[in-house]
């Protein structure tokens, strides 16, 4: 790739050149820390060979530092998918259950936003429909950051909550479900082409915050892909053109995901496998009563720190899933 950047005609195609440099930058960000870590490991080995027993505490301390840095660097090795190093769209929607499910969807939306804060990623709500009493019916977040899609894809699926209901007069135990969908940001990608004759474009007035311009003009855009029935919407940008461009980007990502699911289903049919590849299958349970427990049903990783998880502390859950996917792959 570095050789490609030296080609004389590289900038004849600016879009391709920028894509190449961005990809190279992302790969170097993964690779260079590995080289540095490897050099420090070799240095420590050399020091250990020439050391005495009295040096053992200092060696163990340095080893502990390297081990922690490796656990962080190792995670990057599992992000080898085509879109893993790029940005993402995350959509959270409440399942059946009315207010309970909508409140749970709102809690998951907050969890994702807090996780993005911890990672120092830029998270922007591009579409939101509030629940009638609490929470949200649905919300879509655009996340920009290093390997945002590679990490957040581990959260896609159905999330189950068990708690004492704050919306029930008798304070009964309630089970709620909400769905998280994660799609790659395909800006600039030509992998999926959309026939404009297959689209219905609706514009409407944004109901969210955004200043006088957003609320007083029909700047929000909803795209319906007629052959598949897929619907996407964007309302946060200040102009209809910008909202339409972002909505088209989301539509392409959904069509790509649909294509991959169809291919996976066909492979499963030909293989005769009994395992499911259901995108909406339950992946994690959050129990707040009668005990505190978050358990990932794919990896069996569990923790009693439910509040930490709901506050966005997802690194260990995501790391376990990345390792599981790498092992199965």
Written as one string, the DSSP assignment of 268-322 is HHHHT------TTSEEEEEE-SSS-EEEETTT--EES-HHHHHTT--HHHHHHHH
DSSP of 106-118: HHHHHHHHHHHHH
What span, in angstroms and rounded, lies between the C-alpha atoms of 118 and 320? 18
User: For residues 105 and 133, is the Cβ–Cβ distance under 8 A?
Assistant: no
- Kindly report the number of other CB atoms within 10 A of residue 193's CB atom: 8
Rg from Cα positions in the chain? 23
Q: What is the pTM of this model?
A: 0.74
Looking at residue 199, its pLDDT comes to: 93
Looking at residue 210, its pLDDT comes to: 43
Backbone φ, ψ for residue 40 (5° rounding): -70, -35
Q: Element (H or E) spanning 286, and its range?
A: strand 282-287
Give Cβ neighbours of residue 181 (< 8 Å, ≥ 6 apart).
Answer: 90, 91, 92, 93, 156, 279
Looking at residue 24, its pLDDT comes to: 87
User: For residues 184 and 149, is the Cβ–Cβ distance under 8 A?
Assistant: yes
Which tokens is 34 given?
């590995």
What span, in angstroms and rounded, lies between the C-alpha atoms of 170 and 199? 48
What span, in angstroms and rounded, lies between the C-alpha atoms of 228 and 244? 19
Which tokens is 60 given?
């163990």
Residue 164 to residues 89, 273, 288, 309, 318, Cα–Cα distance (Å): 31, 39, 8, 18, 27
- Of the candidates 152, 143, 237, the one whose C-alpha atom is nearest the C-alpha of residue 185 is 143
The rounded Cα 319 to chain-centroid distance in angstroms is 13
Which tokens is 52 given?
């005495």
140 φ/ψ sector (left φ>0, alpha ψ -120 to 50, else beta): beta
Looking at residue 237, its pLDDT comes to: 77
The ranges assigned to domains in the chain are 2-77, 88-187+301-328
Backbone φ, ψ for residue 24 (5° rounding): -65, -40
Looking at residue 270, its pLDDT comes to: 58
3-class SS at 94?
A: strand
- Kindly report the number of other CB atoms within 10 A of residue 96's CB atom: 8
> Yes or no: is domain 88-187+301-328 CATH 3.30.70.1660?
yes
Residue 53 to residues 47, 213, 309, Cα–Cα distance (Å): 12, 72, 42
- Taking 50 as the pLDDT cut, the residues of the chain under it are 209-215, 273-280
Q: Name the CA dihedral angle for 118, 122, 123, 126, rounded to a multiple of 10 degrees.
A: 180
User: For residues 261 and 279, is the Cβ–Cβ distance under 8 A?
Assistant: yes
Looking at residue 275, its pLDDT comes to: 37
User: For residues 69 and 37, is the Cβ–Cβ distance under 8 A?
Assistant: yes
Looking at residue 142, its pLDDT comes to: 95
What span, in angstroms and rounded, lies between the C-alpha atoms of 266 and 112? 32
């Amino acid at each position: 790739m570095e050789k490609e950047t030296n080609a004389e005609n590289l900038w004849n195609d600016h879009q391709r050149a920028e894509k190449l440099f961005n990809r190279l930058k992302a790969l170097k960000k993964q690779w260079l820390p590995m080289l540095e870590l490897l050099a420090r490991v070799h240095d420590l080995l050399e020091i250990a060979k020439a050391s005495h027993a009295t040096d053992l505490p200092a060696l163990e301390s340095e080893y502990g530092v390297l081990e922690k840095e490796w656990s962080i660097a190792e995670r990057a090795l599992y992000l080898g998918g085509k879109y893993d190093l790029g940005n993402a769209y995350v959509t959270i929607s409440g399942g059946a259950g009315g207010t309970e499910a909508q409140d749970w969807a709102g809690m998951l939306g907050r969890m994702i936003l807090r996780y993005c804060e911890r990672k120092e990623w830029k998270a922007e709500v591009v579409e939101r429909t509030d629940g009638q009493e609490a929470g949200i019916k649905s919300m879509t977040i655009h996340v920009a950051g290093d390997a945002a899609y590679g990490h957040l894809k581990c959260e896609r699926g159905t999330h189950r909550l068990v708690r004492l209901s704050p919306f029930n007069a008798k304070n009964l135990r309630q089970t709620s479900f909400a769905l998280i969908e994660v799609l790659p940001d395909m800006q600039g990608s030509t992998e999926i082409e959309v026939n404009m004759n297959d689209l219905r474009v609706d514009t409407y007035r944004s109901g969210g915050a955004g200043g006088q311009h957003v609320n007083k003009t029909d700047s929000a855009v909803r795209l319906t892909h007629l052959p598949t029935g897929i619907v996407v919407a964007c309302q946060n940008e200040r102009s209809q053109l910008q909202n339409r461009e972002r909505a088209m980007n989301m539509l392409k990502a959904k069509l790509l995901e649909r294509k991959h699911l169809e291919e996976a289903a066909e492979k499963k049919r030909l293989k005769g496998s009994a395992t499911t590849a259901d995108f909406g299958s339950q992946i994690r349970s959050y129990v707040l009563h009668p005990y505190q427990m978050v358990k990932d049903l794919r990896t069996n990783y569990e923790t009693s720190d439910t509040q930490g998880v709901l506050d966005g502390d997802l690194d260990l859950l995501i790391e376990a899933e990345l390792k599981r996917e790498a092992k199965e792959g």
